[in-house]
Structure 1
């Protein structure tokens, strides 16, 4: 664990058969924590997406199957800026082919852009992209 005070960033995935899994960034102050903040794009290919920030999310209360992939450490000095950073990334609009599950952009594309932004401002290490690249898409 790094010497400075850090938060732990995870890819939170809700798998779905035959369609893209829902992806979110889950940030918690303790390793393997169950309570933290969630940053994600919600919506559908039919209606488009919007960025949503959940300032307090308890994973232990969800009944949905989920997976966590550790992305990296975020210095706690970034905590107050994460929501604003998330909101600065435009959410995907309506898909040109909403009946084709992987045809348009979705929450996964938004999360990749959000993560690239966090890397570009120095909030998280670029190794987070390697972790993301191994994550299941469905």
Structure 2
């Protein structure tokens, strides 16, 4: 059996959209887990897995779901059996292990009054998630089409 894995895009009119992986549970497609990095470019990011998250609880937040892949169920472990909502960074399946292999972006936005000496590449949740998906494709967990779907996803 395969499981759907989505890119969830939290839109912003001003800043880059926040990107995360969304894996709905088998029993209830409104409840599942979010795999992402949280933080910002001025202070850095950290890994976060949100288990038993209910998308209906955030109906106030504008988001889009983009199907990235249909993944063999052997690569996904559903959330905790007691149904509690937990945020952690402990991997329990292949996708989460791959997520932890990709370092969370460090501080990349430097605010200074000095003239710039070289161009700095700003890294954020979008750059991290793209690197994760490329890694999942290389590991043959996601299909190549996942990269195209991500590249066509909303950036703001």
Normalising TM by the smaller chain, what interval? 0.7 to 0.9
Q: CA deviation at 1:29?
A: 4.1
Q: CA deviation at 1:83?
A: 1.6
Q: Which has the larger radius of gyration?
A: 2
Q: How does 1:9-24 map to 2 (within 5 A)?
A: 9-24=5-20
Aligned to 1:72: 69
Q: CA deviation at 1:98?
A: 5.7
Per-residue deviation, residues 28-68 of structure 1 (Å, max 9, x unmatched)? 245x9221111111001121001111122111111211110
Aligned to 1:95: 108
2:36 aligns to what SS in structure 1?
strand
126 and 98 in structure 1: CA distance in 2 versus 1, 3 angstrom threshold? farther
**For 1:81 and 1:53, how far apart are their aligned partners in 2?**
13
- When the two structures are aligned, how many residues end up with a matched partner? 131
Instruction: Give structure 1 stretches of 5+ with no counterpart.
Output: none
Task: Report the TM-score when normalising by structure 2.
Answer: 0.77
Per-residue deviation, residues 76-123 of structure 1 (Å, max 9, x unmatched)? 100122221111110111123369xxx510000000011011111111
Q: CA deviation at 1:125?
A: 0.4
One of 130, 151, 156 as aligned partner of 1:112? 130
1:84 to 2:97 alignment: yes
**For 2:107 and 2:124, how far apart are their aligned partners in 1?**
9
Aligned to 1:35: 31
Task: Report the TM-score when normalising by structure 1.
Answer: 0.87
Instruction: Give structure 2 stretches of 5+ with no counterpart.
Output: 77-92, 113-120
Aligned to 1:47: 43
Find runs of 4+ consecutive structure 1 residues off by over 6 angstroms.
none
